[in-house]
Amino acid sequence: MLLGKLNTWEYGTGTGAVHLDLPFPSRRATHGGTTAHFTGGSSAPASGAARGGRRRPCFALGSDTGGSDAAARRRVRRAWGMKPSFGLVGRAGILPNCWSLDVAGPLARTAEDLALILDAIAGHDPDDASSIAVPPADHRASLAAGVAGFRIGLVRDPGLPVGPAITENMLHLARHLAAQGAEIVEFALPRSIAAYQAASSLINWSESYAIHERDFLDRNALMGQALRDKMMTGFGIRAVDYLAAQRQRRLLADELDRAMDGLAALLLPCTSITAPGLDDADAVVAFTRQAFVAPFNISGHPALSLPTGFDGDGMPTAAQLVGQLFAEPALLGIAARCETLPAPRHPPSVTAGGA
Amino acid sequence: MTDRPVWTDEAVAAYAALHGLTIPDAGFLSRLRAMAQKASDAAASLPRDAGREDQPAFSFVPAPRR
């Protein structure tokens, strides 16, 4: 049953840059009451649909790959987004962007809605070669578990400068979890963000090119610049470089998983800045590239974004919770406690505008 | 680390011809060169693992017949 479908970027991918050069009209999503700000990548329509409001659905489904388009749903809108463990949700029928990084997951307004949707879509998919058969879990039942006794690793310094409101609101959330019995401990990512991004990018460019090679060779003039640039990047990658990225991925993932031993979750920012204006092309790319999601796209850990408040300009801030592999119930239980965060639910004031 | 290829217009054009890509104009060639260099630079930043037994993350795993 088709419940509804949304627009997205060409093939749901790009480079993070916005060119608005496609030969059909596109209605820009609003963000904070205006259309003047970047709303994120390919999943921006899905997160916009799921954020709530009159005549809007209570959830949407999206896919998460890494780099430019993976993070969009986890940082811009006031929606909650969840990237389950790699392999937990089958992908048969979804147009692939990158076979070894793509993850399908829900976007919704609450942790409970995420749990309900995950209950419905998780499970082994025999038509997806990367699907993993794990014992079924009752995600909704986990919501009341609380956080008492949980150790949560707080990544105060993710390796790039982070906007003060993003950090302040994340620390506010950490204190809120601590007040409910969680033990907050400092955590440092084992490697720089650049190390994860290099492996993620090589894998993403290579596989995406392999998927769309025929279209690029035959019809690249019909592509927008963002997609064509990505195809061009994948065109010249050597096999040995792709395999180096995949070998490095295994090492990075194992290392990160070991570092998370004993923790119920990590808490860290999604992005280093809040949504920039669409007229600032460099900031739009920086918003995408200077994000902290690549480690978990590489490692396959489940990650969940949640709104934490707003900055001084009324732009939403977000944090991400990262759980142990295939421990979505615990992650959702923590997320449910975050919902009781006494934070502003609406921006202080935003001047409506348009482009 | 591996040697970092430095792409020239001639090298990009030859590579494109070898792999069936038509170059419509100089702007396309310039962009293709820039993107090829971006990929090569990223690849050069990846450590090469010392152990030959270190397998890629995405390895084939056979599934039992359904």
pLDDT in tens, A95-133: 999 999 999 999 998 999 999 999 999 999 999 999 999
Percentage of the residues of chain A whose pLDDT score is greater than 90: 63
Is the CB of B46 less than 8 angstroms away from the CB of A198?
yes
- Say yes or no to pLDDT of B1 above 60: no
Ramachandran class of A119: left when φ > 0, alpha when ψ lies in -120 to 50, beta otherwise: alpha
- Say yes or no to pLDDT of A15 above 70: yes
Q: How far is A18 from chain B (nearest CA, A)?
A: 16
Backbone torsions φ then ψ of A82, nearest 5 degrees: -130, 125
pLDDT of residue A73: 45
DSSP A62-120: EEE-SHHHHSGGGTSSSSEEEEPPTTTB--TTSPPS-TTT-EEEEEESSHHHHHHHHHH
Specify the pTM.
0.90
pLDDT of residue A352: 36
Nearest residue in A to B30, CA atom: A232
Task: Tally C-beta pairs within 8 A across A and B.
Answer: 87
Taken in order B47, B52, B53, B55, the sign of the CA dihedral is: positive
Give the nearest partner residue to B35 out of A129, A229, A240, using CB atoms.
A229
Q: How far is A97 from chain B (nearest CA, A)?
A: 15
Is the CB of B56 less than 8 angstroms away from the CB of A129?
no
Is the CB of B56 less than 8 angstroms away from the CB of A246?
yes
Q: How far is A236 from chain B (nearest CA, A)?
A: 6
Tens-digit pLDDT profile for residues A278-332: 888 888 878 877 889 999 999 999 999 999 999 998 888 999 999 999 999 999 9
Q: How far is B28 from chain A (nearest CA, A)?
A: 10
pLDDT of residue A55: 65
Tens-digit pLDDT profile for residues A325-341: 999 999 999 999 998 88
3-state SS assignment for residue A36:
coil
Is the CB of A245 less than 8 angstroms away from the CB of B46?
yes
Tens-digit pLDDT profile for residues A133-149: 999 999 999 999 999 99
Which residues of chain A does B17 touch, with a Cβ-Cβ cutoff of 8 Å? none
Distance of CA B18 to the CA centre of its chain: 14
Mutation pick from B15, B46, B65 vs chain A, by most beta carbons of A within 10 Å, is B46
Q: How far is B16 from chain A (nearest CA, A)?
A: 9
Rounded distance between C-alpha atoms, residue A275 and residue A37, angstroms: 6
Rounded distance between C-alpha atoms, residue A27 and residue A4, angstroms: 17
- Say yes or no to pLDDT of A343 above 80: no
Nearest residue in A to B35, CA atom: A233
Is the CB of A248 less than 8 angstroms away from the CB of B49?
yes
Interface residues on A facing B, Cβ-Cβ cutoff 8 A: 99-100, 126, 129, 194, 198-199, 201-203, 205, 216-217, 221, 228-229, 232-238, 240-241, 243-251, 253
Q: Can you point out the beta strands (E) in B1-66?
A: none
Terminal C-alpha separation, chain A: 35
Q: Which of A266, A264, A265, A268 is nearest to A317 (CA)?
A: A268
- Say yes or no to pLDDT of A351 above 50: no
ipTM of the shown complex: 0.92
Contact A232, A281 (CB under 8 A): no
Rounded distance between C-alpha atoms, residue A105 and residue A73, angstroms: 10
- Say yes or no to pLDDT of A8 above 50: yes
Q: How far is A125 from chain B (nearest CA, A)?
A: 12
Q: What is the mean pLDDT of chain A?
A: 86
Is the CB of A241 less than 8 angstroms away from the CB of B2?
yes
Tens-digit pLDDT profile for residues A210-242: 999 999 999 999 999 999 999 999 999 999 999
Rounded distance between C-alpha atoms, residue B7 and residue A203, angstroms: 21
Is the CB of A236 less than 8 angstroms away from the CB of B2?
no
